């Protein structure tokens, strides 16, 4: 009779993860005990800057840990399950941070909209542009599954148009009425849930890497083109627990971070949208690095799943969360973009469709996405 030799539990937890947990939870303990005194008004500038740097570094450090654990699960479970775990984990962090800012004392009616739009510009232009450029320079034309890209882009066009453009046409405030908010939130979450269900089951083949020379994966072929090791259930459970243990410090530090972001934007006299950009940078930097590594490793389908999938998850989860928070708290939630931003949104969607409706990518498309991000940065800081 054969027996299975299991690795001891401590060997499943890398030393780097233990260090992340100790540092992250140490900062959580410090702010739970002393944070109220440190952030009591009026907060000296030096204290505010120090606290912001510590919180920013801790949340970013923990986020890298979340991505590392999710990436391990991705290799174990294969596509698209692994990427779904990663994107939903990252978007959950963003929802937590945005919710904390909205529940704060500052003027936060547009923070959710600004964050969603910043994620769009960063992920779909800056990160996608770098992936197309760097991957193309290293590997030449890179292949991906066109059916999956079309599915993502269709969702993006519909969800962004409904959430960020339609409110401008319904009212002059850019907000939904309460009844409209309930219906839009329900429709968005139902569509996103249906999309996930199809992505994980009957249409999984849309989101896996096609064989060389294929534009799509044939029906009935749902396995990854690259063989992977058998799933280690015990390791997956341990990694899942570690992932949650690294998300929790971010949840507990979110309120203090929100207070400092609101304070810093006000003190600097910066555009309100900068707060949304900061949150997008904090949340999506680790995933962006993962996507660039995938492009350099000639895994363009993983880039598509990470970049386009991350933004679909952002809108699919963020919009219902924002509308529900607004309904519960009675706070105004402005989702409608200014018309200048609407033009950037339309150009981003159109450019992405042209970039991912073919069979292969090219560095030229990457340069176009980078130029569009530069235009966004220009109008953000020099309106």
Per residue in 137-190, pLDDT (tens digit) is 999 888 888 888 899 999 999 999 999 999 999 877 899 999 999 999 999 999
Per-residue pLDDT at 152: 93
DSSP 122: I
Q: How confident is the model at residue 230 (pLDDT cuts 50, 70, 90)?
A: low
Per-residue pLDDT at 158: 97
Asked if residue 205 lies in contact with residue 212, where contact means CB atoms within 8 angstroms, the answer is no
How many whole angstroms separate alpha carbon 114 and alpha carbon 231?
A: 40
**60-79 tens-digit pLDDT:** 898 888 888 877 887 777 66
Per-residue pLDDT at 213: 55
**75-105 tens-digit pLDDT:** 777 666 766 777 777 777 778 878 777 776 6
Please give the full DSSP string across 52-121, using - where no structure is assigned.
HHHHHHHHHHHHHHHHHHHHHHHHHH-TTHHHHHHHHHHHHHHHHHHHHHHTSSS--TTHHHHHHHHHHH
Assign 188 to helix, strand or coil: helix
Residue 186 Cα to chain centre, angstroms? 21
**333-361 tens-digit pLDDT:** 999 999 999 999 999 999 999 999 877 88
Share of the chain above pLDDT 90, in %: 38
Q: How confident is the model at residue 219 (pLDDT cuts 50, 70, 90)?
A: low
How many whole angstroms separate alpha carbon 82 and alpha carbon 76?
A: 8
The domain ranges of the chain are 13-381
Length of the chain: 383
Per-residue pLDDT at 350: 96
Q: Does residue 282 have a pLDDT over 70? A: yes
Q: How confident is the model at residue 295 (pLDDT cuts 50, 70, 90)?
A: very high
User: What CATH code would you report for 13-381?
Assistant: 1.20.1420.30
Q: Looking at 1-15, 132-146, 193-207, which range is the least confident one? A: 1-15
Cα Dmax for the chain: 74
Q: The pTM is what?
A: 0.83
Per-residue pLDDT at 226: 44
Please give the full DSSP string across 19-70, using - where no structure is assigned.
HHHHHHHHHHHHHHHHHHHHTSSSPPHHHHHHHHHHHHHHHHHHHHHHHHHH
Per-residue pLDDT at 12: 67
Share of the chain above pLDDT 70, in %: 88
Per-residue pLDDT at 224: 45
Q: Does residue 212 have a pLDDT over 70? A: no
Q: Does residue 10 have a pLDDT over 70? A: no
Q: Is the peptide bond before 342 cis (omega within 30 degrees of 0)?
A: no
Assign 159 to helix, strand or coil: helix
In terms of Cα–Cα distance, which of 183, 136, 180 is closest to 364? Answer: 136
Q: Which two tokens stand for residue 296?
A: 């350099």
């Amino acid at each position: 009779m054969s027996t299975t030799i299991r690795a001891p539990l401590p060997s499943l937890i890398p030393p780097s993860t233990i260090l992340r947990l100790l540092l992250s939870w140490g900062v959580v303990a410090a702010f739970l005990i002393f944070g109220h005194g440190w952030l009591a008004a009026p907060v000296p500038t030096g204290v505010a800057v120090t606290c912001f740097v510590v919180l920013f570094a801790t949340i970013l450090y923990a986020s890298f840990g979340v991505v590392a654990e999710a990436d391990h699960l991705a290799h174990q479970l294969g596509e698209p399950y692994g990427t779904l775990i990663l994107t939903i984990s990252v978007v959950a962090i963003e929802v937590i941070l945005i919710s904390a800012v909205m529940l704060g004392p500052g003027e936060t009616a547009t923070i959710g909209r600004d964050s969603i739009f910043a994620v769009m510009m960063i992920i779909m232009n800056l990160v996608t542009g770098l992936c197309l450029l760097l991957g193309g320079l290293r590997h030449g034309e890179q292949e991906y599954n066109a059916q999956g890209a079309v599915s993502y882009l269709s969702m993006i066009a519909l969800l962004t148009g409904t959430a960020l453009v339609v409110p401008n046409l319904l009212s002059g405030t850019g907000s939904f009425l309460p009844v409209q908010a309930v219906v839009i939130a329900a429709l968005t979450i139902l569509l996103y849930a249906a999309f996930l269900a199809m992505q994980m089951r009957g249409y999984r083949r849309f989101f896996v890497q096609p064989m060389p020379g294929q534009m799509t994966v044939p029906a009935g072929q749902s396995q990854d083109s690259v063989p992977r090791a058998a799933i280690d259930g015990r390791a997956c459970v341990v990694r899942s627990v570690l992932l949650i243990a690294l998300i929790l410090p971010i949840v507990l530090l979110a309120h203090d971070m929100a207070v400092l972001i609101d304070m810093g934007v006000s003190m600097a006299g910066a555009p309100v949208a900068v707060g949304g950009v900061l949150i997008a940078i904090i949340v999506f930097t680790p995933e962006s690095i993962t996507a660039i590594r995938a492009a350099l490793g000639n895994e363009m389908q993983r880039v598509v799943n990470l970049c386009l999938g991350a933004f679909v998850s952002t809108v699919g989860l963020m919009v219902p969360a924002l509308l529900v928070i607004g309904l519960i708290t009675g706070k105004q939630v402005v989702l409608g973009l200014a018309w200048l931003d609407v033009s950037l949104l339309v150009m981003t969607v159109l450019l992405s469709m042209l970039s991912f409706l073919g069979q292969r990518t090219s560095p030229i498309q990457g340069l176009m996405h980078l130029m569009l991000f530069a235009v966004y940065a220009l109008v953000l800081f020099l309106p």
